[in-house]
Amino acid sequence: MNSSLRIHIAIIVFGLLVAVVGAKLIYLEVTQRDFLQDEGDARTVRMERINAHRGMILDRRGSPLAVSSPVVSLWANPSELPEEAAALAQLAEGLGVSVERFQEKMNRAKDRNFVYLRRHARPQKADAILNLGLSGVYSEKEYHRFYPSGEVTAHVVGFTDIDDSGQEGLELSYENWLSGQEGKKKVLKNLYGEVVRDIMPVTEAIPGKDLHLSIDQRLQFLAYRELKSAIYQYKALSGSFVLLDVSNGEVLAMVNQPSYNPNNRVRLDLASIRNRSVTDVFEPGSTVKPFTVAVALQSPQFSAESVIDTSPGFMTVGDATIRDPKNQGLLDLGGVLAYSSQVGISRLALQLNEYDIWDLFRRVGFGQASGVGYPGESSGFLPNRRRWKEIERVTFAYGYGLTVTPLQLASAYMTIASGGIKRDVTLLNSGSTLGERILPEAVARQLLVMLGRVVSEGTGKRAAVDTYAVAGKTGTARKIGKNGYDDSRHIAFFAGIAPLDQPRFVGVVIINEPKTSRVGGGAIAAPIFSRVMSNVLRLLNVPPTNTREAV
């Protein structure tokens, strides 16, 4: 075969091949176009999540208590990572781990196509790793929660987990409000899985809504500072301070010790997480005596001038002996409160209907959750006996046999301070001036005058505030041990109202197991109330009353 014939045959064969290929391309374009397009997209077009920005938590003045900042999370497909030791060494060094540890982690995840390398890395550090240009390493934009006030507001705000979901406190209570809704978008990726460009949003991310609290960060810090100092000074196990706005039930400050730093939870003690102001209960002791007196003031046989004979300073009820520190003699009802006479309140209680006392305790909020909406809130315990022994009647009247939280006690005193109107307490900046009348206004006013005497002449003298008249009640309760009440373990508390003439604030202080020679509420808790309330009144420009006399 000559050369020209061979060339001719080659041209014919080539033409036939071109025709076949062209026909195949036309066939695929006409009949298989949609199928091929979908298959191509499946290998290059991906659906990616758009994380929603979590709403901020702000105090009543707009100061941030919880904010979300953008971070980058790095992840890898182990099967796509380079095999070269040098490349893996670079990646491990960028992540701050040893090569051996990194390879061990990748070997464990070899059957997976997704494994996190580093969560919530700073953008600069993430970019340094991504700029290595290693195959199989990818990034995702996320948000990291930061708490500017640290442990000062930790118990109120709570915290989120690494996935930005609420785990404690208001972060958990208002998860749906704060979290928003994540979106989706189509992106085009190259052979190495890197995003080449965004194609189109499928579902827009809806950011979370901000949460405005009733907490005033300035007052929160004042209470936190004084409480922490007191816990250290008295070597106490724990403590709480709650400050309420009388006009609308808003919580202005709520602090506990021990506390924790929500920004660094590496060595977190679980016992320090709980918000003791709403989760821990205690027998309130003498702080409930004003409510027993309130029942007497509403009965026909007693008035504010009624006198109780407490001589000789003790009395026997059943097999028990009730004692005062000393014989107080004749005391009017205000004197019974001022000197916290156990004998006086016991003799008063035995002349009252025990169910009337129980009912008032219930109506001021004991034995029921406050409705503040905090996770894990305790309702306390209010016994409801069919028949009451005499010893149960008297001990109940002065605060044993029931349990309350610090917030419940503060709420009850707010009813007295507001002229007998009970308002719901709230942690949001949306308090209501509406409420339910629990006590006649005249009775509430008489109680205020009596509680003023507690500070001016009685057991609460150390709660006094210079240039302001304040009111309140001390309390000291023994804790229950293995063999009944333990005389060596106490809870000291003070529930106070300020100013006396036009009440604006209620503050409750709880100190659990002070290790000092003096353990009473007047010696331990009252001075804390005085220091905090003094700063609160001045910071908020409340005019001085210039007298401690009740008006």
**Hey, which residues are catalytic here?**
286
Distance (Å, rounded) from C-alpha 402 to C-alpha 27?
86
Which is it for the CA torsion 425, 431, 436, 440, positive or negative?
positive
Query: What's the Cα-to-Cα distance from 226 to each of 230, 409, 410, 518, 531, rounded to whole Å?
Result: 6, 20, 18, 19, 7
Identify the burial level of 178 via C-beta atoms within 10 angstroms of its C-beta, where 0-12 means exposed, 13-18 middle and 19 or more buried: buried
Helix (H) or strand (E) run with residue 144 in it: strand 137-146
Q: Compute, in degrees rounded to 10, the torsion defined by CA atoms 347, 352, 354, 356.
A: -140
Cis preceding linkage at 312, omega within 30: yes
Identify the burial level of 165 via C-beta atoms within 10 angstroms of its C-beta, where 0-12 means exposed, 13-18 middle and 19 or more buried: middle
Helix (H) or strand (E) run with residue 9 in it: helix 3-31
Distance (Å, rounded) from C-alpha 364 to C-alpha 249?
13
Distance (Å, rounded) from C-alpha 170 to C-alpha 372?
10
Distance (Å, rounded) from C-alpha 475 to C-alpha 448?
17
Distance (Å, rounded) from C-alpha 175 to C-alpha 185?
24
Distance (Å, rounded) from C-alpha 450 to C-alpha 438?
18
Taking the mean position of all CA atoms in its chain, how far away is CA 512? 20
Centre a 10 Å sphere on the Cβ of residue 452 and count the other Cβ atoms it contains: 26
Pairing of strands 320-323, 137-146: unpaired
Identify the burial level of 288 via C-beta atoms within 10 angstroms of its C-beta, where 0-12 means exposed, 13-18 middle and 19 or more buried: buried
Distance (Å, rounded) from C-alpha 138 to C-alpha 49?
14
Distance (Å, rounded) from C-alpha 477 to C-alpha 466?
28
Distance (Å, rounded) from C-alpha 26 to C-alpha 460?
98
Tell me the residue type at 240.
Answer: S
Tokens of 374: 């905090």
Pairing of strands 211-212, 57-58: parallel
- For residue 316, the SS3 value is strand
Reduced DSSP (H G I as helix, E B as strand, rest coil) percent helix, strand, coil of the chain, to 5:
40, 25, 35
